Structure 1
Amino acid sequence: MKILDWYILKKFFSTYIFIILVFSGILIVIDLAEKIENFRKPELTAWRIFSEYYIYLIPHFASQLSPLIIFITAVFVTSRLASHTEIVAILSSGISFLRILKPYVIGAALIGLMIFYLYGYLVPHTNKKRHDFENRYVREKFIFKDRNIHKQLAPNVFAYIETYDNPTKTGYRFTLEKIKGKDLVAKIEAPRIIWNEKKQKWSLESYRLRTFEKGEEQMKFGAALDTTLAITPKDFESKHLQNEQLTITELSEIIDEMKLRGEANVENFIVERYLRYAYPFSIIILTIIGVIISARKVRGGTGKQIAIGFALAILYVFLIIVFKNFAQKEGFPPILAVWLPNIIFSLIGLYLYFKLPK
């Protein structure tokens, strides 16, 4: 790479890191103000709060805010270069505008790869630790309130639980059915099903097993039966922001599992998986737009360009939220919902590029 590339990249990366730190600091102060009453516990020292909570919140902010921050970074760096007449000098030397874009795209691509790894694999692990802390000290204890729970555990195997008590890990009025074609071949019923933590199995109390073979029904009764099922107490825990705690691989696995069981809200996980792939591309797209809108020197300094860039970045985040909600609640195709903001902003970028003075 030439001196120009290193010059722009140095400014680009240093500004990006600075803005990340500033935004993270502001959001941490806001978060602390909201949770200060929850943190007033004898066992929670300032060091524990930082080392067990906020240290894991920063990577979350870095991954979630990167499209917004990268846009502001591109606008700030380019508008500063333009205000010092450096862009004009570079173009006057015979270097094309596309060539000026090269270091920006390289920088955005490197940050995009970093965000893909963070958002896809590292941040889910830090989110687990963060949510665990919140569950212990911030949120109210979760109580499972659903009734008449139907789950498909395997092809042709269906489970039913009327109610479930998560503090005692006990289900009531349990039924497990195995179907072959259109015929019921086996059915087991129990008034209670309890999770045995030591054995890592379910224990059925006062069960009744019915089997059907060649038109004949056989029945068996028992006081207790330990069995392994494709459900565990984790399936009855809070699903609040669970998708944030899963890697891309885990998301794919749970999506297949939820589809098999016919569970609701699978769209939340599908949207989350597509977002992990869309974010790196959005970083490149927004960087290019940021450079284009701020490449011209304007009267009054860089404030107007930064304001325009900030407004466009907010619009992008707004579109993501709107289309994400459409996919989760209105049946909008998840892949289209996730990629539409990128498509729209790509078209905006092309329009702005061709409107640039030659």
Structure 2
Amino acid sequence: MGIARLSPRSRRSGVGTIPGSATNSPVSGPQGRMGTIRAYVSLTKPRIIELLLVTTVPTMVVADRGIPSVWLMVATVVGGTLAAGGANAINMYVDRDIDRLMERTKNRPLVTGEIASPKALVFALALEAVAFVWLWGFVNLLSAVLAVSATAFYVFVYTLWLKRTSTRNIIIGGAAGAVPVLVGWSAVTNRLDWAPLVLFALIFYWTPPHFWALAIRYRDDYQAADVPMLPAVVGIRTTAVRIIVYTVVLWGLSVLFGTVGDMGVVYFAGAVVLGAVFLGFAVQLLRTQTTASAMRLFSYSITYITVLFTAMAVDQVVRTGV
């Protein structure tokens, strides 16, 4: 849909505005410290990180054609967690003005004042620095560069530019979430080739249907904050049609990876069946155009990516016997 204009209210709020109440009195003692720790952890958006890591480890198994060393998997997961956590914390820092306008995000720690904005930014940048040094020292330089580059893309391209200006925000910006498969592959091989690039494309095309389904549920929130997420701008029907298009491409990419990645029958069976079910949920959304159908699709999209990548790893272990 191209560029969407922001309302005067959104422009007045600005990125630099410190929203919410920052005057909450801190609670002293162990309870207060635990609350602060939980607040800092929430800045990293742990649930999103879980999804990223679900794709990283199976990718490493495929790249190794077996089970990589435990230490390499741990080092890669730790580094990826730090990098993704830093990126998410920067996202919360930048979006603190619009987070207070949405029901889904109004209780985030930068909105409630649990954490001061400058401290959150320092925390986020420290995570990125540690992630780069960690991955460089314990994995390899290519993985470190890829991980931090994903953060830069997520922050500057998605958060600071596209999120508030274009309905293509999640289409382009979602590329950052596809980088963990490149990190996982390069951690094992110290190079990239066609197989991880197809996996990158697979995650790239999975992200819009996954996120648009959730955005249908919260389209009123996005309208209130003047954030042009697709469902808030064009409605459910047009969003559902685009979800179907992306799902068909996703299905094709999952099968293509089976060929490029030299996968076996376990993976191919999983890719075909899982893709068919995904498309079924997408078609159901178009037919019903309800929030309930959108949330069923959203829930299944998480199951889809988890089971598909699990099948990928199982396929390799079964075939190699490792």
TM over 0.5: no
Q: Give TM-score, length-normalised by structure 1.
A: 0.30
Rg bigger for which structure? 1
